[in-house]
Amino acid sequence: MKRIAALLRRRLAGAVPVLFIVIAFAFLLLESAPGDAVDAYLVSVGGGDATLAASLRAQYGLDQSTLSRLWLYLAALTHFDLGWSVAFDRPVLSLIGERLPTTLVLMGSATLLSFGLGSFLGIVAASHPGSLRDRLLSMASLTLYAIPGFWLALLLLIVFAVDLRWLPFSGFETVASHKTGLARLADIARHLVLPVVTLSLIYLALYLRVMRAAMGEVWRQDFILFARARGLSARRILWRHVARNALLPLVTVLGLQSAAMLGGSIIIESVFAIPGFGRLAQEAVAGRDAPLLVGLILVSALFVLSINLVVDLLYAWLDPRVGSVEAR
């Protein structure tokens, strides 16, 4: 317990500078892109005169210098005020609050599915390294990994939503159906099948490969030889000894992947018209909406930091050696 508390303390202290760097970097990065929020707006409405542009710039605070705007943003942030989105004309916090659950549900299900299926298939492949089964699985997973996400998404859409009509076409739930309770949950689940399967198929390969490689290493350890010598069944050795010990690197990958998933869902959200984080980020960049983009990146960074903290805690629990070194 003590070592976990120490780990938590260290991580929280380290998080503050990380978040500051992330904010400043995101802010300056969007700032360096040519054109500002007013340019983006004027184009979207098909034109406007110079006085209109000037008054909008004053209204959005774009007539001030970059640094003073960054300073104002940081000052507001200390009061947990994420600012005002100029592209949506709404508070950033409410926009994020609206979209975050959608993305978390999508991402969470996809991560679980790809992790579960990937590691299982990894075990299956590694149980007989070099066998036909192993080679087929590796090839199949790599092929899926190589397929562009949007293409796979469209392909699945056309097969299952257009031709077979088994699944709804797109969206997070049936529009304007006003379903509640269990009926709504079932409706959301049906809508999520295609996007979740798409995301999972793409990331499946990673877990499969890591699991397979990690198991290859464990097979060669002395305690496996010992287990064999004790006369344990092949099945028992595979599941209880090899697979269990190979899980450790997989947990690391899970932590790293959680960040990548947030990014990968932009394309999937756009193809399946799911109102999530990725699409919001895309619109924030197109609209040069600095408060919204920085808010999104900040929340994503917080998310990644906490996932990694959980992974570290998990690590400490799975492998007693890790936490004790950190706590010292």
Applying CB under 8 A, the site for another protein has a residue count of: 63
Sole binder of another protein in the list 64, 68, 131, 143 (CB under 8 A): 143
User: Of 184-243, which residues contact another protein (CB under 8 A)?
Assistant: 189-190, 193, 197
Give residue 52's identity as a one-letter amino acid code.
Answer: L
157/298 with CB nearer another protein? 157
For another protein, the binding residues in 248-287 under the rule CB under 8 A are 270-271, 273-276, 279-280, 286-287
Residues in CB range of 256: below 8 A, 6 or more apart: none
Q: Considering the complex, state which of residue 191 and residue 212 has its C-beta at the smaller distance from another protein.
A: 191
Residue 168 in contact with another protein, rule: CB under 8 A? yes
Q: Name the residue nearer to another protein (CB basis): 172 or 303.
A: 172
Q: How far is the CB of 296 from another protein (least distance, A)?
A: 14
Contact 30, 87 (CB under 8 A): no
First and final CA of the chain: distance in angstroms? 13
Give least dist CB 180 to another protein, A: 15
283 or 326: whose CB is closer to another protein? 283
Based on the shown chain and the rule CB under 8 A, indicate whether residue 167 belongs to the binding site for another protein. Answer: yes
| 19 forms part of the interface with another protein (CB under 8 A) | no
Q: Which of residues 80-109 bind another protein (CB under 8 A)?
A: 87-89, 95, 98-99
Q: What six digits make up the tokens of 119? A: 């590691």
| Closest approach of another protein to the CB of residue 290, in Å | 12
Where is 308: in which H helix or E strand?
helix 290-318
Q: Which of residues 25-64 bind another protein (CB under 8 A)?
A: 33-37, 39-40, 42-50, 52-53
Contacts of 7 (CB under 8 A, 6+ apart): 312, 313, 316, 323, 326, 327
Query: Which amino acid is present at 53?
Result: A
Among 254, 281, 288, 298, binds another protein (CB under 8 A): 288
Coil, strand or helix at 74: helix
What is the dihedral angle through the alpha carbons of 22, 28, 34, 39, rounded to the nearest 10 degrees?
Answer: 90
Q: Smaller CB distance to another protein: residue 197 or 218?
A: 197
Q: Are 27 and 70 in contact (CB under 8 A)?
A: yes
Q: Which residues pair with 84 in a beta bridge?
A: 91
CA distance readout (Å), 249 to 15, 246, 297? 23, 7, 27
CB 276 within 8 A of CB 264: no
Residues that bind another protein (CB under 8 A): 33-37, 39-40, 42-50, 52-53, 87-89, 95, 98-99, 140, 143-144, 150, 154-155, 157-162, 165-172, 174-177, 189-190, 193, 197, 270-271, 273-276, 279-280, 286-288
